[in-house]
Amino acid sequence: MSESKPKKASPSMDMWLREAKLDTKVSQEGMFLVHNGIVRQTPKAQVREGIHDGSVVVGMHFSYDADKVDAAVKETYSMDGIYYVRTWLNEGQLSVGDDIMYVLIGGDVRPHVVDALQFLVSKIKNECVTEVEQN
């Protein structure tokens, strides 16, 4: 019989922002953006492709490749105006409403930070994680 791991504790965004503002490059930053992805009840196929089969998500098995996430973070740091990047990803069996991931981006101006957040979240979702919805 396999044992399920307890869910990881979600990070505090207040703490993350306090720590980010202590970073040596904070004087170059004009804003921070946070992404918090959570498990939703609506299936991905319905949200993204308009497929309504009547099913609902009751849980998700989530895993990720840490090396790929690290490479994606490194790539994000190479983007114009980006000085701070932090990620947290959950793992294992998750329920509706559970946190999947947090991403914090700090940079000089809004367009750079928005672009970097979009880039990194997309990269993580498309290349670094495995999500198996359970109906």
Q: Is residue 5 part of a domain?
A: no
pLDDT in tens, the chain (135 residues): 444 555 789 999 999 999 999 999 999 999 999 999 999 998 776 767 777 777 888 999 999 999 999 999 999 999 999 999 999 999 999 999 999 999 999 999 999 999 999 999 999 999 999 999 988
State the total domains in the chain.
1
Q: Is residue 102 part of a domain?
A: yes
Q: Is the pTM here over 0.85, yes or no?
A: yes
Q: Is residue 1 part of a domain?
A: no
CATH at residue 62: 3.90.1170.40
SS (HEC) of 73-122: HHHHHCCCCEEEEEEEECCEEEECCCEEEEEEEEECCHHHHHHHHHHHHH
Domain of 110, in residue numbers? 13-134
Q: Is residue 45 part of a domain?
A: yes
